[in-house]
Structure 1
Amino acid sequence: MNASWLNGFDHFFEQLVHLMPGLKSLMLKITFLADTKVDLVWMLLIAIILWIKKQHPLSLSIVVSLITADAFGWVVKHVVQRPRPINHMAVDDGFSFPSGHTLGMAIIVFWLIMIMIPALVKNRTARIWLNVLLIVWLILVMISRVYLYAHYPSDVCGSVALGAMWVGIVDAVWDKVTPRTIKNNF
């Protein structure tokens, strides 16, 4: 983790994020809304709504995606054991990579973008706007974690990559165990 290019990447983006002074209160609110416990609430709300709408395979898919990703993230965090930044302002403890806030939100965002929105939103313009809003939200979560010195920029970028990869893996496995007609029974 001491590669000079990685340190340069982290330093550049830390300085860029900290050009915006006075945003601590906003960043703490964003961090709260992306907390891993709140992610579980988001996931459960989505799953319940899908279950009520008789979208049982989709409902189970998001539950499996988030729970397995949280477990995977915990394992990676304890294997890598990257220390947090020195000026850490948030109340998080433990290691820096991967960012649980970012990983959980990336799972939800990519699951919505890759699986749910294409399946349920037929209007192309609405799909594009929903995708843009979700990506902007994910970027705000990433910025909040760096702004509060809870993570390095490379931690949040790596967490987004892990999230995208994990949703792709879960979707590929889901396709193998659930015929397309059952998975997308809309």
Structure 2
Amino acid sequence: MKNKQLHLRNASFLALALVILGYVIKFYPEQLTTFDTAVQSAIRGNLPDLATQFWTRITVIGNTSVIVSICFLLIVLFHRKQWKAEAYLVLASIAGMGVASTALKYVYQRPRPSIEWLIDTIGYSFPSWHTASTMIVAGAVVVIVNQRMKHQLAKRVVQLSLILLAVLVALSRIYIGVHYPTDIIGGWLLAVLLLELYYSVYDRIRFTWRFQSKQK
């Protein structure tokens, strides 16, 4: 119970931060201009060719078709290994994020940045779907790896690699010009918020099902 309360408390703080950020974006966007512009300029620079090739390739990982395919493969793999709770965690993570991110986009209706885009896209800007989706899937797998992998060094390498990849996808959205840095922060807040809400439920179900021999 104490563990559940801790996750709920963390989720409440993250939700408050997300709401405050959304409020400022909706009603006082000019207050964020200096921060957003400075970060955009630092990351984009003069759009060097090698960096452009790197970031435009990295950003594809967060595309809907790619991230859904990755989740589908993970769910199939976990079911075959009889890791049912893990499979449901991945499913709930991507489904919940998709609904929440889409809803928030229509609540805040933030236009995309007016700077040059390196790809075509549609829809509102806040929060970043690519950022939230890659971070929540990476976070869910980090949790699963932490519980399932025995070798400590290999575990940490896999976990850090997953988080690094999610961060790179997020930064790519700034580089290619389709998101403000504060959209990225919003995506991260949403992803971690949902993971905090899901984790205590997932961990309890996983323990119960293993005790009842419903999964390995």
* Alignment TM-score, normalising by the size of structure 1: 0.90
Displacement of 1:183? 6.4
Counterpart in the other structure of 1:164: 192
Aligned partner of 1:97 in structure 2 is 126
Alignment-mate amino acid for residue 165 of structure 1? L
1:31 matched to 2:59: yes
Change beyond 3 A, Cα 1:137–1:173: same
CA distance in 2 between counterparts of 1:124 and 1:180 reads: 22
Q: Residue deviations 1:22-76, cap 9 Å, x none?
A: 2222222111121122111111111111111111111112111111110111000
Q: Distance in 2 between matches of 1:81 and 1:28?
A: 25
3-state secondary structure, aligned to 2:195: helix
Which residue matches 2:33? 7
CA distance in 2, matches of 1:44, 1:183: 23
Q: CA deviation at 1:166?
A: 0.7
Task: Please point out which of 178, 192, 206 is paired with 1:150.
Answer: 178
Cα pair 1:43 1:66 within 8 Å, conserved: yes
Residue 21, structure 1, aligned to residue 48, structure 2 = yes
Partner-residue secondary structure (3-state), 2:150: coil
- Any residues of structure 2 matched to 1:10-89 within 5 Å, and which? 10-19=36-45, 21-22=48-49, 23-87=51-115, 88-89=117-118
Cα 1:105–1:183, aligned 2, differ >3 Å: closer, same or farther?
farther
Matching residue's letter, 2:53:
S
* Gap runs ≥5 in structure 1: none
Q: In structure 2, what is the Cα distance between the partners aligned to 1:129 and 1:10?
A: 32
Cα RMSD for the two superposed structures = 1.9
Q: Any unmatched runs of 5+ in structure 2?
A: 1-24
Q: Quote the offset at 1:4 in angstroms.
A: 5.2
1:182 aligns with 2:209: yes
CA distance in 2, matches of 1:183, 1:7: 51
Identity over aligned pairs, percent? 24
The answer to whether the Cα contact below 8 Å between 2:146 and 2:155 also exists between their aligned partners in 1 is: yes
Displacement of 1:179 after TM fit? 5.6
What is the Cα deviation at residue 80 of structure 1?
0.7
Counterpart residue number, 1:111: 140
Cα distance, 1:7 vs. partner? 2.0
2:110 partner amino acid:
R
Deviates more, 1:12-21 or 1:89-98: 12-21
Distance across 2 between alignment mates of 1:43 and 1:129: 21
Report which of the two structures shows the higher radius of gyration computed on alpha carbons.
2
Determine helix, strand or coil for the equivalent of 1:108. helix
Letter in 1 for 2:35: F
1:120 Cα deviation after fit: 1.0
Please say if residues 138 and 163 of structure 2, whose CA atoms lie closer than 8 Å, have aligned partners that are also in contact.
yes
Greater per-residue helix proportion: 2
- Aligned residue type for 2:39: F
**Residues 158 and 183 of structure 1: CA distance in aligned 2, closer, same or farther (over 3 Å):** farther
For residues 183 and 166 of structure 1, the distance between their equivalents in structure 2, rounded to whole angstroms, comes to 24
